[in-house]
Structure 1
Amino acid sequence: MLSMRIAVAGGTGTVGRYVVEVARLRGHDVVSLSRSEGMDLVTGRGLEQSLAGVDTVIDVAGINSTATKKAVDYFTNASQNLLAAEKQAGVKHHVALSIAGIDQARSGLYAGKLVQEDTVRHGDVPWTLLRSTQFHEFVPLVVQAASAGPVVMVPKMFTAPVAASEVAEALVAAAEAGPQGRVPDLGGPRTEQLAGLVRAYLHRTGRTGKKVLEAPLPGPMGKAMRSGALIPAPGSAVGRQAFQEWLDALPH
């Protein structure tokens, strides 16, 4: 396997830090692109200089917002700026991470990811697109965002959570394989209810006094969550680590 120069957009995030680690362990020269390192995908600041000599870009950057307009604006600007800088720098391959099932839930963050996918497909850089389910690390974020005093309100949702580290491995493997278009979705080994995952996480972290309340979300997004539409279809790639295994490995 030949060593490449790989740039990771969002290299300090939940998946990005694993992508950086995995790529370096596999002998690649890695550049991390993040605001903390002087790059801004939304404005394009610092991108062209950072992509000098880069063979492949892995884009795992994101936004912490469920507002549809914010998500669409972010992914539109970030993807267009990144692809334009890649073309200018002579980058040969763009790898993007998306979310499983978003065709059935076209609002919020998912609307932004659909715009990102469309931008990548119609861009000038050969591409690979991997959709994955939510990561195990999604559960602590839900607890943080949905807590109100002693109560955690969670949407009724079926998911097949996957380890962020395994998503990173798949992305680096895709980078090494070269442009492939859309590859099989990646999900975790078990289908779970989000409320049950949240209860298990609260128990593991000693917050047994919190009460988890489950409620159906309205609209197409809520329907997709409840129906299992966000679970990868048969024939998709399946991760190794179940949520409980990830939970058991957390430090006390």
Structure 2
Amino acid sequence: MKVAVAGGTGLTGRHVVELLDRAGHEPVPLSRAAGVDLLTGSGLDAALAGVEATIDVSNVTTMKREAAVGFFDKAGRTLAEAEARAGVRHHVTLSIVGIDRVKTGYYQGKLRQEAVVREGGVPWSVLRATQFHEFPGQILERLPGPVALVPAMKVQPVAVREVAEALVELAVGEPKGMAGDLAGPRVESLVDMARRVIRAGLARRRPVVPLWLPGPMRTGGLLPTGPGPRGVQTFDEWLAEAAGSPSIHRDDDPRTYR
């Protein structure tokens, strides 16, 4: 089966491409490196020739509402129109648990992406997942200064590979609409996770100070509220592996504040 992967060279996309290949499918990465531009549509029609399903893990790095909404709206519409022309039978999008409760600028963009998928003419599935295990390391990398102010919030981190496995399983099956929320096996404190990342030598050593935020982000707005699949790998298990590969926490295709 020929499966296109939008954002196929990024953190999540690389896992998706590898898993598709191992399962005997033909992955087609849709990225600028492959000569495809999701915003202009350049190279998209040729890349989608013969494709039966698309997995969209594309992303933009911003917390600004206008930029996020603009990107996900334009890229989503361009991809949907090209899929319709190519006869793609199933579109799968990766989204984020809690974006309808925690209304940051980036999450508004993800909500717009979901709306574009629902409004498009291609049968679809949307998988909302919680933050990846890499999340606290990504935050620490972006925080300057001698002290790291980390949001005091609860998350239920999941392994990116397990998310990729779920996306591939969805893509080769029948469209499901909104799939059950995918989360990790355990609720964690983001502040404690950041401190453990530093102790493991995966980020610059400095004090981590809780940043108290108002509203649903502080009260568990990013946690799943209903039934859905749960990952197996815990944050501590991931951290033990990551400590042996210092670059593993880096975000080559950043899903900022996933």
- For Structure 1 versus Structure 2, the TM-score category normalised by the shorter chain is over 0.9
CA distance in 1, matches of 2:173, 2:35: 29
Counterpart of 1:195 in structure 2 is: 191
* Secondary structure of the structure 1 residue equivalent to 2:172: helix
Runs of 4+ in 1 over 2 A off after TM superposition: 206-209
What does residue range 81-230 of structure 1 map to in structure 2 within 5 Å? 81-146=78-143, 148-205=144-201, 209-218=205-214, 223-230=215-222
How much has 1:224 moved relative to structure 2?
2.0
Question: What is the identity, as a one-letter code, of the residue corresponding to 1:247?
Answer: L
How much has 1:216 moved relative to structure 2?
2.1
How much has 1:151 moved relative to structure 2?
1.4
CA distance in 2, matches of 1:206, 1:125: 42
CA distance in 2, matches of 1:211, 1:123: 47
Counterpart of 1:26 in structure 2 is: 23
CA distance in 1, matches of 2:146, 2:120: 47
Counterpart of 2:230 in structure 1 is: 238
* Secondary structure of the structure 1 residue equivalent to 2:70: helix
CA distance in 1, matches of 2:2, 2:203: 44
* Secondary structure of the structure 2 residue equivalent to 1:72: helix
Unpaired runs of at least 5, structure 2: 246-258
1:156-187 superposed Cα distances (whole Å, 9 cap, x missing partner): 21100000000000000001112111110000
Counterpart of 1:37 in structure 2 is: 34
Retained in 1: the 8 A contact 2:141–2:203?
no
1:191-220 superposed Cα distances (whole Å, 9 cap, x missing partner): 0111111100011016573111111235xx
Counterpart of 2:255 in structure 1 is: none
CA distance in 2, matches of 1:74, 1:195: 30
- Segment drifting more, 13-22 vs 32-41: 32-41
TM-score by length of 2: 0.91
How much has 1:13 moved relative to structure 2?
1.0
Distance 1:208 1:51, change over 3 A: closer
1:89-147 superposed Cα distances (whole Å, 9 cap, x missing partner): 1111000000001111223210000000011011100000100001011222111112x
Question: What is the identity, as a one-letter code, of the residue corresponding to 2:14?
Answer: R
State, as a whole percentage, how many aligned pairs show the same letter: 47
Question: Which gives a bigger RCO, structure 1 or 2 (Cα 8 Å, sep 6+)?
Answer: 2
Retained in 1: the 8 A contact 2:39–2:71?
yes
Q: How many residues align?
A: 244
Unpaired runs of at least 5, structure 1: none
Counterpart of 1:247 in structure 2 is: 239
1:211-236 superposed Cα distances (whole Å, 9 cap, x missing partner): 11111235xxxx22211121012412
Tell me the C-alpha RMSD between the 2 structures: 1.2
Question: What is the identity, as a one-letter code, of the residue corresponding to 1:143?
Answer: L
